A and B are shown apart, each in its own frame.
Chain A
Amino acid sequence: MAAYTIKRLLWLGLTLVFISLVTFVLMHSVKGGPWDEEGRSVPPSQIENLNRKYGLDQPLWRQYTTFLQNTVQGDLGLSFQRQDRPVTEIILAGFKVTAVLGLLAFALAATGGVTLGVYSALHRNRLPDYGSVFVATLGAAVPAFVIGILLKSVFAVELGWFATFGWDTRDGFIPGWLPRWDQLVLPVVTLAALPAAYIARITRASLLDVLQQDYMRTARAKGLGAGTVLFRHGMRNAAIPILTVSGPILAALVTGSFIVEQVFEVPGVGRAFVDSVSDRDYGMIMGTTLFYAFVIVLANLVVDISYAFVDPRVRLK
């Protein structure tokens, strides 16, 4: 087990080096550099000065090895386009927002999805079932930005219940962590829609399967109450597939809220990542890519290791 973990960690390091190399090569092979601003002619001497300042006057291999050296020491360098702020600082600030948003959305998706799924399964092929399947399909089929804009137009612009933009954690209801409630609801609901629909579908299918099992009939036959049957015998077994998809869903939510961040102007890391590419902010591109890679590779590792605890049949070598 320990040997396996160490081996995987070494692989993690190698994977990250590989990803950074690919990113570096791609980034420099794309045409247009950080100083090629649309419609502005910067004198060559100025460009040379900027290149010198950010080390872009060095040969590419040297730039890359310098980057690796610094990264190993925990220094992802400076952003080219953001007042020379350290990349690490920008990523961590953005990730805090993205992670909070993602976790809230996950909590909502899990409770909402499971509730909808159970309700649906218990009313199989009746109106409530069709209703919740419809809602779930809608959530899965409509892109997040459409849902976001729709919710914003109706609930923020028309009804004025919520703010149309922002994630103000300084004056929020948990200062430093959560924004004002009127800024919180719409982004979380928008982000939760798709995974909630997915979880609802899985829950419904899984519970329907379980409900037909012999032990369920036995449980009912021995006179247990409907609630006990459903929760102690039904849901416990139906929960396994739900838990299996929850890991990836959580990872996706925590790393993939870019669209929602755009629609509601949430200052998360997803937006910073995408902006860095169009800005050719080399420091930020390398930093955010590596950061995402690290989060995802680490999440996979944790899942693999956790299998060994959940299922004793899995032997990790």
Chain B
Amino acid sequence: MEIRKLINARWFATAFAVLSLTLAACSGDKDTASNGTSPAPADQQVLRLRLQGEPKTIDPHLSNQTTETTITRPLFAGLFTYNEKLDVVPNLAKEMPTVANGGISPDGTTYTVKLKEGAKWSDGKALTAQDFVYSMQRAMDPQLAGPYASFFYSIAGAGPYNTALGTPEQPKAPSAAELASLRGGLGVSAKDAGTVVYKLTQPNPSFLNLLALWTAFPVRQDVVEKNGAKWTEAETHVGNGPFVLSEWRHDEKMVLTPNPNWIGEKPKLQRIEINFIADDFAAYQAYQAGELDVVTVPPAAIKEVTQAGHPYNDQLTVEPDLATGALFLNNKVAPLDNEKVRQAFGTAIDRKAFTDGLLQGGGVPTTSWIPPGMPGYNADLGKQYNFDAAKAKDLLKQAGYADGKGLPKVTFIMVNSDTNKLTGQFIQAQLKQNLGVDVEFEYVEGREYGRRFTTGDYVATIQGFSADWPYPDNWLPDMFTTGAGNNLVGFSNATFDDLMGKAAAETDNAKRLKLYDDAQKLMLDRAGIVPLYNRVTYVLTKPWVKNLTITGLDGYIKGDLYFDKAFIAGK
């Protein structure tokens, strides 16, 4: 599960942006627009992109940040992927498994997936079902400690194997033989060279979404075992995606080139350069100077590029992300354990002022948790929290704190950055002005924030959450079920837990979505979380970049699901 940084800013980011904007105010664009649509010659098929610094890993089983997963997508291919509408579609799988074609057992616990014939690794070796077996065993290996492993606990034996070494409180020391037996007992097997079989402990209708996740991408056993952690270096890397890693100049850039053994349509791009540029505004300037072909617009420049008549109007794509930003109010800590107080907070914030003023259009107001653009979105949920100061005050009165009198101090924690301070000041002012409540903001350093937030050692914070896959089971059970791993707000409700249990076992999609909808409504009515906005990404693409499809599921680099289709024309 991934909760991305809402706003990331280096200490001088603001100064940087202000200075650069002032200087850039009179700038004109140097690009010449072109309408050519037939691909340019091979030597011009170069796409220049930006990543926010060096990825910590590109091993699919260890990746968890969007800056990491975005690199795994062109380099590896799983059994399934997403189409532009974000439906799961076969990638290396021959077809979609269904109950009708025998791919899914009638009880929903066995998935039999046939591989496309002729699939190969980038070095030409045949890709077999055994590679998927090894890869899932590796992904669940407790010694590898992959961050996404727990998502796959519905596979038989995955939980016991992945937790075989115990916890700090209760460490276990299994013997090598015990570990090997747990590994062998994992519910993944190769029926033959072209068929992988997954056995689940209970039906999981989102299982194909999981198989489309980077954690389920295959890695090459002999390469990994021979090179250890260095197997992801360009010199030793072997993948199975449309591109291969031909250079990784550490702290500088990566270069991807087409994989000659890719079984899909051959990519037209001959070279993808991924430059590591830490600062958002520096990347924007590099785009202005014509050194990058695609860039995400930093908040400070959104107003400029969206102005009518700005030369970038035609290069701009506004993409709603599958992401929601919200107030995380710790349901277990006074006074926020009182649901009326949470509801009062939720009603006291002018979301439109937040998205228009503070985010400069980098978000749209929402009161609902699951974002638009994916199943489970319901615009009508949480409507009672639409900004209404009088109602908010009344709710606070009902909670026993008329005019905020006697309300214990609420302290928000946030990562120390200039942008977060602006966010903090905004929320502080709203709650003061509309509710008469003084809240405090404490700005702490990133890792300290991480520790406090993930261990529940906080009263309130503001966080964004973005989808790993487009289905409500990524948004509700793990975050709001009593005692669940990522229940960071401490929400607890027996009816909700019951609905989650029912939804997990329900195989009919419509009924399942209804159960999730009921649960989401319940959670929002109780103000388990206070949604504020859905994130919107502004992406600039040079006119000569064609066919680069941007979706709400993209990782850090926009278009990462479709590099194999993109090309350069009319440059």
Give A contacts to B, CB under 8 Å: 30-34, 36-50, 52-53, 81-85, 90, 93-94, 145-146, 149-150, 152-154, 156-158, 160, 163-168, 170, 262-263, 265, 267, 271-272, 275, 278-280
Q: B450–A154 contact, CB under 8 A? A: no
Closest 8 CB pairs of A and B: A32-B447, A267-B251, A39-B3, A84-B229, A49-B145, A36-B450, A153-B23, A32-B448
Which chain B residue lies CB-closest to A167? Answer: B252
Least distance between A145 CB and chain B CB atoms (Å): 6
Q: B150–A44 contact, CB under 8 A? A: no
Q: A164–B447 contact, CB under 8 A? A: no
Given A39-B3, A160-B290, A170-B249, 11 more A-B residue pairs with CB atoms under 8 Å apart are A37-B64, A37-B65, A39-B4, A41-B485, A83-B56, A85-B229, A152-B20, A153-B285, A158-B24, A263-B282, A271-B278
Q: B285–A164 contact, CB under 8 A? A: yes
Q: A33–B447 contact, CB under 8 A? A: yes
Is B121 located at the chain interface by the 8 A CB criterion? no
Q: B19–A45 contact, CB under 8 A? A: no
A52 to B169, CA, bound (A): 14
Residues of B with C-beta under 8 A to A279: 56, 447
Least distance between B484 CB and chain A CB atoms (Å): 10
Q: A38–B415 contact, CB under 8 A? A: yes
Q: A265–B19 contact, CB under 8 A? A: no
Is B406 located at the chain interface by the 8 A CB criterion? no
For A40, give its contact among B64, B230, B278, B286 (CB under 8 Å): B64
Residues of A with C-beta under 8 A to B486: 41
Binds A, one of B8-16, B107-115, B394-402, B556-564: B8-16
Least distance between B231 CB and chain A CB atoms (Å): 9
Number of residue pairs across A and B with beta carbons under 8 Å?
190
Q: B450–A45 contact, CB under 8 A? A: no
A30 to B447, CA, bound (A): 10
For B16, give its contact among A90, A145, A156 (CB under 8 Å): A145
Task: Bits for B160-201, please: 1 = Cβ < 8 Å to A, else 0.
Answer: 001101111101000000000000000000000000000000
For A36, give its contact among B146, B149, B228, B448 (CB under 8 Å): B448
Q: Among B142, B162, B446, which residue has the most Cβ atoms of chain A within 10 A?
A: B446
A113 to B488, CA, bound (A): 57
Q: B147–A46 contact, CB under 8 A? A: yes
Q: Among B54, B143, B166, which residue has the most Cβ atoms of chain A within 10 A?
A: B54
Which chain B residue lies CB-closest to A78? Answer: B229
For B282, give its contact among A83, A265, A272, A280 (CB under 8 Å): A265
Q: B2–A153 contact, CB under 8 A? A: no
A93 to B232, CA, bound (A): 19
Residues of B with C-beta under 8 A to A30: 445, 448
A150 to B21, CA, bound (A): 11
For A158, give its contact among B23, B146, B229 (CB under 8 Å): B23
Report B433-464 residues with CB < 8 Å from chain A CB: 445-451, 453-454, 463-464
A287 to B523, CA, bound (A): 48
Q: A44–B445 contact, CB under 8 A? A: no
Q: B232–A83 contact, CB under 8 A? A: yes
A275 to B447, CA, bound (A): 12
Is B422 located at the chain interface by the 8 A CB criterion? no
A157 in contact with B19 given A267-B250, A271-B251 (CB within 8 Å): no
For A94, give its contact among B5, B16, B251 (CB under 8 Å): B251
A81 to B65, CA, bound (A): 12
Residues of B with C-beta under 8 A to A31: 447-448, 451
Q: B168–A44 contact, CB under 8 A? A: yes
Q: B56–A153 contact, CB under 8 A? A: no
Is B279 located at the chain interface by the 8 A CB criterion? yes
For A42, give its contact among B10, B147, B168, B285 (CB under 8 Å): B147
Residues of A with C-beta under 8 A to B447: 31-34, 36-38, 278-280
Residues of A with C-beta under 8 A to B410: none
Sample of 9 A–B contacts (CB below 8 Å): A38-B446, A38-B449, A40-B64, A44-B167, A84-B230, A152-B20, A158-B27, A166-B253, A279-B447
Give B contacts to A, CB under 8 Å: 1-5, 10, 12, 15-16, 19-20, 23-24, 27, 30, 53-54, 56-57, 59, 64-65, 142-147, 149-150, 162-163, 165-169, 171, 228-230, 232-233, 249-253, 275-279, 282, 285-286, 288-291, 415, 445-451, 453-454, 463-464, 485-486, 488
Q: A165–B448 contact, CB under 8 A? A: no
A50 to B146, CA, bound (A): 9
Residues of B with C-beta under 8 A to A156: 285, 289
A141 to B251, CA, bound (A): 31
Residues of A with C-beta under 8 A to B249: 168, 170, 267
A83 in contact with B230 given A41-B454, A146-B19, A156-B289 (CB within 8 Å): yes
A37 in contact with B450 given A82-B56, A157-B23 (CB within 8 Å): yes
A157 to B232, CA, bound (A): 35
A267 to B251, CA, bound (A): 5
Which chain A residue lies CB-closest to B172? Answer: A45
For B289, give its contact among A50, A93, A160 (CB under 8 Å): A160
A271 to B145, CA, bound (A): 28
Which chain B residue lies CB-closest to A281? Answer: B56
Residues of A with C-beta under 8 A to B228: 84
Least distance between B531 CB and chain A CB atoms (Å): 16
Least distance between A80 CB and chain B CB atoms (Å): 9
For B229, give its contact among A43, A44, A83, A93 (CB under 8 Å): A83
Residues of B with C-beta under 8 A to A262: 10, 12, 278-279
A93 to B251, CA, bound (A): 10
Residues of B with C-beta under 8 A to A34: 447
Q: B165–A48 contact, CB under 8 A? A: yes
A158 to B149, CA, bound (A): 48
A47 to B285, CA, bound (A): 39
Q: B251–A157 contact, CB under 8 A? A: no
A45 in contact with B285 given A83-B57, A149-B16, A166-B275 (CB within 8 Å): no
A50 to B56, CA, bound (A): 15
A157 in contact with B454 given A84-B228, A164-B282 (CB within 8 Å): no
A150 in contact with B448 given A40-B454, A265-B278 (CB within 8 Å): no
Residues of B with C-beta under 8 A to A45: 142, 162-163, 165-167
Which chain A residue lies CB-closest to B64? Answer: A40
A128 to B171, CA, bound (A): 75
A153 in contact with B3 given A32-B450, A170-B249 (CB within 8 Å): no
Residues of B with C-beta under 8 A to A84: 228-230
Q: B282–A165 contact, CB under 8 A? A: yes
Q: A46–B449 contact, CB under 8 A? A: no
Q: A46–B445 contact, CB under 8 A? A: no
Q: B252–A168 contact, CB under 8 A? A: yes
Q: A38–B279 contact, CB under 8 A? A: no
Q: B19–A46 contact, CB under 8 A? A: no
A265 to B252, CA, bound (A): 8
Residues of B with C-beta under 8 A to A36: 447-448, 450-451, 454
Least distance between B186 CB and chain A CB atoms (Å): 16
A78 to B66, CA, bound (A): 24
Residues of B with C-beta under 8 A to A280: 447
A271 to B251, CA, bound (A): 9
Q: A53–B276 contact, CB under 8 A? A: no
Residues of B with C-beta under 8 A to A152: 20, 285
